[in-house]
C-alpha cells in the first residue's frame, strides 16, 4: 500500500523556533499507544526535528514516524524568536500540506502553532493565520473558526481583526453562515443542542443606548434563522451567557469577536482546547496555543492540546 493510501491525517509542526516540534515529540508515545502513527504523515523539516529530538533526548522516536521531509536538512531553528528562516520552514510545510490535500484528498489536517510575524518576515505579506490562508488556498469564502474543549465549543463571527473594525464586520451574512457552519458541525456530532449567541455590545446594547448592532443586525438575523429551524437563542450579554458553559448547561456558543469567545473556552478548557476550521473541504484542527517562545527550548511545553486534537478526530 502506498504512503498516500495509508495516510488519513496530515500534520505540520508549525514554527520550528517555538514549541511545535517539542509537543510533537512528547506526543509520540500516546499516538503510538492509540495506534495512530501509521495513519499520520508528518510534514516537517528534518533538521528541525533532529535538533529538537536531540535537545529532548528522544531520538529513538524518529524511526517510528512517517516523515515527508520539507526544506533544508541542515536547517537549525532560531529558538524563541520571530525569525524569517523559521517562517520559511513553517510556510513551506504548510504549502506542502496544501499540495498533498489537493492531490490526495486527505480528510484531516492537524497543525502546530505558527508565528504570523515570522511568516510575514519570510515574505508572505498579509498572512494572518492558518484559517484564512487555508480558506484562500481552497477558494473558500464562508469559513468559520471554532474553539472547542471537552465540554463546549465557541464559533466566531469575526476572527483576527482589530477591535475597532469588528462592528462593521458583524453583518447578517456573516452571522448566518457562521451559525449554518456551526449547526452542521453539531449535526456531525449527532447532537441536538441550543446554539447560544452572544451580543456584541455591553448589556446586549441596552435597546440601542449602548450600540445598534443588536437591534439592527443580530436580532433580525436570529429571528430569520429561528423561522428556518435553526436552534438559536440570543443575543445575550457574554458576561452572563458563558455561565452556562461553566455550569455545563450549554454546549454550543457563538461569539462576535475573537477574545469574547476564546477567553472562556480556553480558561475552562484546562489545556484540552482545540482550534477547528469549518467550511473547508477537509477537517482542519489545531492546538489552542501559540508558539510559546518564552518557554521554547526549556522542556516545559505540554502536549495536552495536541493530543486533544488527535483524539478529536480519532474518537
Task: Report the pLDDT value the prediction gives residue 3, as an integer from 0 to 100.
Answer: 44
Task: Report the pLDDT value the prediction gives residue 1, as an integer from 0 to 100.
Answer: 33
Contact 291, 9 (CB under 8 A): no
User: Given pLDDT bands bounded at 50, 70 and 90, which one contains residue 246?
Assistant: very high
148-270 classified as CATH 3.10.100.10: no
- Position with higher pLDDT, 313 vs 83: 83
Asked, colleague to colleague, whether 1-140+280-315 and 148-270 share their fold, the answer is yes
* Percent of the chain residues topping a pLDDT of 90: 91
Task: Report the pLDDT value the prediction gives residue 105, as an integer from 0 to 100.
Answer: 85
Task: Report the pLDDT value the prediction gives residue 270, as an integer from 0 to 100.
Answer: 83
The CATH number of domain 1-140+280-315, selected from 1.10.10.10, 3.90.190.10, 3.40.50.10440, 3.40.718.10: 3.40.718.10
Each domain of the chain, given as residue ranges in start order, spans 1-140+280-315, 148-270
The 10 Å CB-count burial string (b at 16+, else e) for 249-269 is ebbbbbbbbbebbbebbbebb
- DSSP string covering 152-186, please? -EEEESS-S--GGGHHHH--HHHHHHHHHHHHHHH
Contact 149, 272 (CB under 8 A): yes
Contact 62, 50 (CB under 8 A): yes
Amino acid at each position: 500500500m502506498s504512503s498516500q493510501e495509508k495516510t488519513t491525517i496530515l500534520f505540520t509542526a508549525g514554527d520550528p523556533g517555538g514549541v511545535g516540534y517539542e509537543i510533537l515529540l512528547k506526543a509520540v508515545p500516546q499516538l503510538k499507544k492509540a495506534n495512530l502513527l501509521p495513519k499520520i504523515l508528518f510534514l516537517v523539516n528534518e533538521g528541525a526535528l533532529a535538533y529538537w529530538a536531540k535537545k529532548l533526548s528522544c531520538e529513538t522516536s524518529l524511526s517510528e514516524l512517517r516523515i515527508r521531509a520539507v526544506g533544508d536538512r541542515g536547517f537549525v531553528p532560531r529558538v524563541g524568536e520571530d525569525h524569517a528562516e523559521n517562517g520559511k520552514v513553517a510556510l513551506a510545510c504548510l504549502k506542502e500540506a496544501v499540495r498533498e490535500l489537493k492531490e490526495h484528498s486527505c480528510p484531516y489536517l492537524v497543525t502546530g502553532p505558527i508565528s504570523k510575524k515570522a511568516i510575514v518576515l519570510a515574505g508572505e505579506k498579509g498572512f494572518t493565520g492558518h484559517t484564512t490562508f487555508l480558506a484562500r488556498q481552497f477558494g473558500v469564502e464562508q469559513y468559520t473558526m471554532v474553539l472547542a474543549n471537552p465540554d463546549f465549543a465557541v464559533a466566531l463571527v469575526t476572527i483576527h481583526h482589530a477591535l475597532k473594525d469588528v462592528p462593521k464586520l458583524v453583518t447578517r451574512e456573516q452571522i448566518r453562515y457562521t451559525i449554518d457552519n456551526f449547526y452542521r458541525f453539531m449535526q456531525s456530532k449527532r447532537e441536538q443542542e441550543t446554539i447560544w449567541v452572544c451580543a456584541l455590545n455591553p448589556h446586549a446594547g441596552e435597546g440601542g443606548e449602548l450600540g445598534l448592532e443588536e437591534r439592527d443586525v443580530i436580532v433580525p438575523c436570529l429571528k430569520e434563522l429561528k423561522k428556518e429551524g435553526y436552534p438559536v437563542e440570543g443575543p445575550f450579554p457574554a458576561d452572563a451567557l458563558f455561565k452556562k458553559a461553566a455550569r455545563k448547561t450549554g454546549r454550543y456558543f457563538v461569539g462576535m469577536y475573537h477574545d469574547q469567545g476564546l477567553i472562556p473556552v480556553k480558561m475552562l478548557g484546562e489545556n484540552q482546547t482545540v482550534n477547528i476550521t469549518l467550511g473547508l473541504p477537509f477537517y482542519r484542527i489545531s492546538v489552542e496555543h501559540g508558539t510559546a517562545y518564552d518557554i521554547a527550548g526549556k522542556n516545559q511545553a505540554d502536549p495536552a492540546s495536541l493530543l486533544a486534537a488527535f483524539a478529536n478526530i480519532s474518537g
